[in-house]
Amino acid sequence: MKTTATSCSNIAFIKYWGNADPQLRIAANPSLSMNLADLTITATVQFDPDFPSDTLTINGEHVTGGAAERVFRQMDIIRQKANFSHRAKIATESNFPAGAGIASSAAAFSALAVAGAAAAGLALSEAELSALARRGSGSACRSVPPGFVQWLAGGTDETSFATTIAPADHWDLVDVVAIVSAEHKAVGSTGGHALADTGVLQAARVASATERFIAAKEAVLAKDLPALGTVIEEDAVMMHGVMMTSRPPLFYWQPATLAVIHAVYQWRADGIPVYFTIDAGPNVHLICERPHAAAVESLARALPGVQKTMRSGVGGGARVLPSP
Ligand code: DP6
């Protein structure tokens, strides 16, 4: 059977960085995110006993090598659950430009889990789909449930999954992404997670992560932007401190990254409630409420180091699309 599913990307307020179990992608700490309605990926999966091998196209381009192998490994987990060995034809399409500097693995592996499980005839719960997405990319588990989402690290494959803490319409937050570099990063997240424990700061970050997670969760539930903003900025900078002091160091920031951070401080001093977070790359996510999003976007675009911006509100969960 051939099935198509769609999934949003997500932006973490409290970051997943480092694994307790790298094979299973069981995180070292709990994380919290919101789905991004306007950054989506659709995945189509078809299993057929007559296919000689797995094949993957991304935005129409045939893909082989490491990226494809990672997707095929996720299909292996699905095949094992479905108890068959049919090969798969897999296609993903993103609605945002590939190579825009926006990580797409979360949306991709979430959509692949949902499409793949349905194509294999598996009736999995949301928690099981989230755990399956996690095996492809940790942060992908948070794109399966809708809205504002928590991932309690758990300790086992079955207990490490994400759940909704509030629906998408709970709070009209916007993520304005200031793209300062669209270059493909030299070290991706998977390589970065493996370095986390090589420095001395990760232990302190993990030890204090639950406290920040609880503060951020309470702030989301209370729709308290200053409280949320304060803790997400601290959490992001702490993760980058871990990265910068790993051995070897991972330094994702560019001069323009810091320029945007300083601009955010100035905008706040000028009365615009906006806060930043930064993933494993140089681009800066500007989090604000909808009424301020247009102003934040035009201010960001006017900064010299900002090449372009993208904007997204809060999104729903991953879902199977009706067949055409
Ligand atoms: C900085 O989920 O991309 O975006 O499991 O190796 O695919 P893999 O890592 P990934 O790591 C995400 C790191 C982050 C923070 C976050 O999204 O929580």
Q: What percent of the chain has pLDDT over 90?
A: 93
In a domain, 127, yes or no: yes
Q: Stretch 178-194: mean pLDDT, rounded?
A: 88
Predicted pLDDT of residue 173: 98
Q: Stretch 93-99: mean pLDDT, rounded?
A: 80
In a domain, 318, yes or no: no
Predicted pLDDT of residue 185: 75
**139 C-beta closer than 6 A to ligand 1:** yes
- Cβ distance 119 to 3 under 8 Å? yes
Cα dist. 179→59, 95, 211, 254, 300 in Å? 21, 16, 30, 11, 9
Confidence of residue 102 (pLDDT cuts 50, 70, 90): confident
Same domain, yes or no: 183 and 124: no
- Cβ distance 181 to 13 under 8 Å? no
Same domain, yes or no: 66 and 202: no
Confidence of residue 39 (pLDDT cuts 50, 70, 90): very high
**Angle CA(6)–CA(163)–CA(107) in degrees, nearest 5?**
25
In a domain, 63, yes or no: yes
Q: Stretch 40-52: mean pLDDT, rounded?
A: 98
- Cβ distance 19 to 138 under 8 Å? yes
In a domain, 37, yes or no: yes
**Would you say residue 101 has pLDDT above 70?**
no
Same domain, yes or no: 210 and 237: yes
- Cβ distance 298 to 266 under 8 Å? no
Residue where a domain stops, chosen among 99, 132, 167: 167
Residue where a domain stops, chosen among 108, 141, 167: 167
**Would you say residue 211 has pLDDT above 90?**
yes
239 CA: nearest ligand 1 atom: 1
Which helix (H) or strand (E) segment holds residue 105: the answer is helix 105-119
Same domain, yes or no: 34 and 163: yes
**27 C-beta closer than 6 A to ligand 1:** no
**12 C-beta closer than 6 A to ligand 1:** yes
Backbone phi, then psi, for 175, in 5-degree steps? Answer: -105, 115
- Cβ distance 304 to 259 under 8 Å? yes
Same domain, yes or no: 96 and 230: no
Using CA atoms, how far apart are residues 46 and 279, in angstroms rounded to an integer?
32
**6 C-beta closer than 6 A to ligand 1:** no
Same domain, yes or no: 227 and 307: yes
In a domain, 324, yes or no: no
Q: What is the CATH number of the domain that holds 68?
A: 3.30.230.10
Average pLDDT, the chain: 96
Q: What is the CATH number of the domain that holds 302?
A: 3.30.70.890
Q: Mutate which of 189, 205, 244, 285 to test ligand 1's pocket (most atoms within 8 Å of Cβ)?
A: 189
Rounded to the nearest angstrom, the distance between the alpha carbon of 139 and the centre of ligand 1 is: 5
Predicted pLDDT of residue 144: 98
Q: What percent of the chain has pLDDT over 70?
A: 98
In a domain, 317, yes or no: no
Confidence of residue 301 (pLDDT cuts 50, 70, 90): very high
Same domain, yes or no: 68 and 125: yes
Same domain, yes or no: 6 and 145: yes
pLDDT per residue as tens digits for the range 213-262: 999 999 999 999 999 999 999 999 999 999 999 999 999 999 999 999 99
Domain tally, the chain: 2
Q: What is the separation, in whole angstroms, between the first and last Cα of the chain? A: 13
Q: Mutate which of 26, 74, 279 to test ligand 1's pocket (most atoms within 8 Å of Cβ)?
A: 279
Predicted pLDDT of residue 205: 98
In a domain, 57, yes or no: yes
Same domain, yes or no: 217 and 308: yes
Same domain, yes or no: 69 and 102: yes
**235 C-beta closer than 6 A to ligand 1:** no
**Would you say residue 98 has pLDDT above 70?**
no
Q: Stretch 166-179: mean pLDDT, rounded?
A: 98
**Would you say residue 100 has pLDDT above 80?**
no
Confidence of residue 37 (pLDDT cuts 50, 70, 90): very high
Same domain, yes or no: 278 and 144: no
Question: Which pTM value belongs to this model?
Answer: 0.97
List the beta bridge partners of residue 172.
none
Q: Mutate which of 35, 69, 161, 193 to test ligand 1's pocket (most atoms within 8 Å of Cβ)?
A: 193
Residue where a domain stops, chosen among 144, 167, 190: 167
Most confident of 95-104, 182-191, 291-300: 291-300
Using CA atoms, how far apart are residues 156 and 207, in angstroms rounded to an integer?
20
Q: Stretch 107-126: mean pLDDT, rounded?
A: 98
Same domain, yes or no: 163 and 25: yes
Rounded to the nearest angstrom, the distance between the alpha carbon of 2 and the centre of ligand 1 is: 29
Domain that residue 278 falls in: 173-312
3-state SS assignment for residue 60: coil
**Would you say residue 103 has pLDDT above 70?**
no
Nearest residue CA, atom 11 of ligand 1?
Answer: 189
pLDDT per residue as tens digits for the range 120-162: 999 999 999 999 999 999 999 999 999 999 999 999 999 999 9
In a domain, 319, yes or no: no
